[in-house]
Amino acid sequence: MPLFARLYNFAQWLAQDRTAAEDLVQETYMKALRGFASFKQGTNFRAWMYKILRNTFLTSQAGLKASGVVSLDGEDDVALEPAAAETPETVLMARMEQETIQHALEELPVHFREIILLCDVEEMTYQEIGETLAIPMGTVMSRLSRARKAMRQLLATKVQGTSR
């Protein structure tokens, strides 16, 4: 089955629950089979599958709850913010454990978490991310920048907490 393990990983990151993730993946495959006729040959199959999964999640109870947490209004207008130059991330990274990153990812709002997963884990291009999330390229870039900034801040807080 194409993309099975990766879709499952993405689903569990979104739903943060094993049973809910299994339901998401199962529904995604069933929807994909039912709607395969609507898939346009030559377009991105991977983006299509992730889009189905994400939309299924967003319309689920957990998805509605998660996506209602943070407003996305006006995110296109937000200037890309640089990382704090004084943060000694090169040092911090060496001290970080995988667990810390995982906890930080879990704590991110779902719209930040999903874009980081699609970009860093699934290695999607900005265009693919745009197709999956149904947002324009500019929004992909600004949202990704904000998501990474939020991630860095979370990580910095955690590292500072453990170093005290």
> Is 162 among the residues that bind other proteins (CB under 8 A)?
no
> Is 37 among the residues that bind other proteins (CB under 8 A)?
no
Q: Out of 59, 65, 78, 102, which residue is the one contacting other proteins (CB under 8 A)? A: 102
> Is 49 among the residues that bind other proteins (CB under 8 A)?
no
d(CA 28, CA 24): 6
> Is 55 among the residues that bind other proteins (CB under 8 A)?
no
* Stretch in the footprint of other proteins (CB under 8 A) among 45-53, 63-71, 123-131, 156-164: 123-131
DSSP secondary structure, 81-118, as one string: PPPPTT--HHHHHHH--HHHHHHHHHHS-HHHHHHHII
Q: What part of residues 58-87 is at the interface with other proteins (CB under 8 A)?
A: 80, 82-83, 85, 87
d(CA 121, CA 144): 13
> Is 38 among the residues that bind other proteins (CB under 8 A)?
no
Between helices 126-133 and 137-163, what is the axis angle to 10°? 100
